[in-house]
Amino acid sequence: MRDTANFGSPMNLYEAGDDAELRILLITGGWEVRRSFNQIGIQPGDHVRILRRAPFGGPLMIDNQGTRVAVGKQLAEKIRVEVLP
């Protein structure tokens, strides 16, 4: 069986570079994870940008259509993204 986590892009949000325009391809993880992202307004297809990252494996701060969201490392690793040109 194909692991959905590796579907599409080889990159997760935590690995992506700062300040690049990214598109969310897939949110892996269960109902709970999808729901929490959905609640805060993050969905597959959205364009996001990493603004800064806290040191020592701390959270990322991303911009999602003007909303600033802090995303912990574990959760950021559940988002598959692609870099937009």
Partner 1 sequence: MKVALVGQPNSGKSTLFNAVAGYRSLTSNFAGTTVEYTRGQARVDGVVLELIDLPGLYSLTPTSAVEEVSRDYLLGGDWDVIINVLDASQLARSLELTLELLDLESPMVVCLNMMDEAARKGMTIDTHALELALGVPVVEAIGGRGRGILETFRKAQEVAAAGIRPRAFIYAPEAEGLLEELAEKIADNTKGRLATATKKSEVGTGDSGFRIQDYGLSRAHHPAALSCGTGPCAAGCCGHSSAMEGLQSPRAAAAVAVLPAQPPPILAPTDPQATSLQSQIANHKSQMTAFPPARFRALQLVQSDPNHLPTEIGHLALDFELGNPDLGPLRSSPGSHTPAPAARHSSLVTRHGSSDSGLSSVEWAREEIALRTGQPADAAISAARHAACLTVFERVARVARPRADWREQVDRLAMHPVWGYAVLAGVFLGFFRLIFDVGKLGEDRILAVFDAIVAVLTHHMNAQGALYAAVKGAVLGTAGAVAIVLPYLLPFLVGLAVLEDIGYLSRVGYLMDAAMHRLGLHGTATLPVLVGYGCSVPAVMATRILTTRRDRFIAAFLAVLVPCSARMTVIFALVGFYLGANYALGIYALNIIVVALSGAVLARIWPEISPGMLMEVPAYRVPAPRVVALKTWWRLREFVLMAFPLLVVGSVVLSLVDFYGWQHGINAALSPLTALLGLPRSVGLTLIFGVLRKELSLLMLMQALGTTHVLGAMTAAQILIFTLFVTFYLPCMATLASMMRELGWRLTLAASGALLALAIVVSLAARGVMLLL
Residues making contact with partner 1 (CB under 8 A) = 29, 31-41, 43-45, 52-59, 61, 64-75, 78
Q: How far is CA 70 from the centre of its chain?
A: 11
Q: How far is CA 72 from the centre of its chain?
A: 10
CB of residue 73 to partner 1, shortest distance in Å:
7
Return the number of the residue (8 or 57) whose C-beta is nearest partner 1.
57
- Any bridge partners for residue 82, and if so which? 23
CA-CA distance, 26 to 32, in Å (whole number)? 15
Return the number of the residue (11 or 63) whose C-beta is nearest partner 1.
63
CB of residue 32 to partner 1, shortest distance in Å:
6
